[in-house]
Amino acid sequence: MFAIDLRGRHALVMGVANHRSLSWAIAQQLHRAGAALCLTYAGERLRDDVQQLAERLPGTLTLDCDVTQDRTIAAVARRLHREWGSVECLVHGIAWARREDLEGKFVATSREGFQAALDVSAYSLLNVTNHLLPLLERHGASIVTLSYLAAERAVPNYNVMGSAKAVLEQSVRQLAWELGAKDIRVNAISAGPVSTLAARGIHGFTGMLRHHAEKAPLRRNVTREEIGGAGLFLLSDLSSGVTGETLYVDAGYHVMGL
């Protein structure tokens, strides 16, 4: 049987909050394929939960990294330089906006709320990549981030997060161009809705899940495992000719006109 073999590769997976996180679904697939893993969590309050998850994947490192703090990103880069010397896979599964900016009027988004959402959810992809560049360019690498259809369509209540996802997807294309010469690929997965901590912060999320399941060509929502599998594909050599792409893993919802 053909299997994806990532033994000898090092994968940094950012954005695991709990067992429902999409980053966790990708981490599990990477582990099964043999990659060495490091999971990061945003602040001490999540440390125990993420360490407990990491214990399910023997040999996995866990490190604190709040992407609004450059010093914690630099500390991760230093530690991985010492531990591994290179990073071949990077998963960016990070997004955040103020609760009040994910309901109510988009037009009334504050300057601070707009900046904070774009900083955490889009700028962090550039900033983390830049801090890790010496490690990523060592043997070449594949980077995957997570986006949503609100990057290109109007979605009720998605508000400032739609703006952040639009910037994120454009950053994927721009980074793909700039880093392609170093054999670093950059892609996004545009995932259909899945119940996670971040998703639950979107006002009316349960209705979104129902709507997607009714309208999608596959007449259901996607599973975490399907997003994990797509992540594994993009992080492995099976996708070696793919970069700058947004891959829809949404049961086909995005192709519908009505």
**Which stretches of the chain bind ligand NAP, using CB under 6 A?**
15-17, 20-23, 42-43, 46, 65-68, 93-96, 120, 146-148, 191, 193-194, 196-199
> What one-character DSSP code corresponds to residue 101?
G
Rounded least distance, CB 12 to ligand NAP, Å: 12
Query: Which residue, 79 or 139, is less far from ligand NAP as judged by CB?
Result: 79
Q: Are 47 and 23 in contact (CB under 8 A)?
A: no
Q: What is the DSSP string of 116-160?
A: HHHIIIIIHHHHHHHHHHHHHHHH-EEEEEEE-GGGTS--TTTHH
Per the annotation, the verdict on 41 as an active-site residue is no
Rounded least distance, CB 59 to ligand NAP, Å: 21
Query: Which residue, 68 or 173, is less far from ligand NAP as judged by CB?
Result: 68
Per the annotation, the verdict on 248 as an active-site residue is no
Q: Name beta bridge partners: 61.
A: 38
From the list 41, 148, 248, 253, the catalytic residue is 148
Which residues does 53 contact at the CB level (< 8 Å), separation at least 6? 16, 18, 19, 24, 39
- The number of beta carbons lying within 10 Å of the beta carbon of residue 70 is 11
Rounded least distance, CB 206 to ligand NAP, Å: 12
Which residues does 96 contact at the CB level (< 8 Å), separation at least 6? 116, 117, 120, 121, 198
Query: Which residue, 113 or 193, is less far from ligand NAP as judged by CB?
Result: 193
Rounded least distance, CB 5 to ligand NAP, Å: 26
Query: Which residue, 63 or 198, is less far from ligand NAP as judged by CB?
Result: 198
From the list 41, 123, 158, 248, the catalytic residue is 158
Active site residues: 148, 158
